[in-house]
Amino acid sequence: MDITSLILLAMAGLGIISSNTAITVAMLVLLFIRVTGFQQAFPWLEKYGLTLGVIILTIGVMSPLASGKMSLQSIGESFLNWKSLLAIAVGMLVAYLGGRGATLMGSNPTVVAGLLVGTVLGVALFRGVPVGPLIAAGLLSLLIGKS
């Protein structure tokens, strides 16, 4: 077994130890693709995986609206509550950081490995959610002055 497969297996182990199904499944799927020789999937995943993930995440977030659990009235009322207004501002900031992060990750691939390892460790060790690379890259872009 090669070193890359061992790293994927170790990260899957971190997912199991931390009871984080998302990391475990993701690492095992990548390992499966790797060991079955379906290597041609990796360029597609690298190109469209993030977009597909954002689409699925957006579907999950917007499902309460689509199902009728969140009304237009409750959305309108969110502009009257200071916590909701703060949530809107934070949401805008995170979207901005995500955009900067996507740009940085595309233009500076040397930071991608560190961001990915940091995100996986954060998910595995601190019970985080693996949406961190874009936001982390956005914060990094602010720190290092790249846009």
DSSP secondary structure letters along 65-133? HHHTSS-HHHHHHTTTSHHHHHHHHHHHHHHHHHHHHHHHHHH-GGGHHHHHHHHHHHHHHH---TTHH
Confidence bin at 147 (pLDDT 50/70/90): low
Whether the model clears a pTM of 0.85, i.e. scores above it, the answer is no
Pick 125 or 90 by higher pLDDT.
Answer: 90
- Region 10-18 average pLDDT: 83
pLDDT the model gives residue 63: 93
Q: What is the arithmetic mean of pLDDT over 69-94?
A: 87
What integer best gives the mean pLDDT of the chain?
A: 84
Q: Where are the domains positioned within the chain?
A: 71-146
Tally the C-alpha atoms within 13 A of residue 143's C-alpha that lie toward its C-beta. Answer: 8
At 123, list the tokens.
């998910």
Does the structure show a pLDDT above 90 at 54? no
Which of 11-20, 81-90, 111-120: highest mean pLDDT?
81-90
- Cβ-based neighbour number of residue 29 at 10 Å: 14
Put residue 128 in one of left, alpha, beta given phi > 0 → left and psi -120 to 50 → alpha: beta
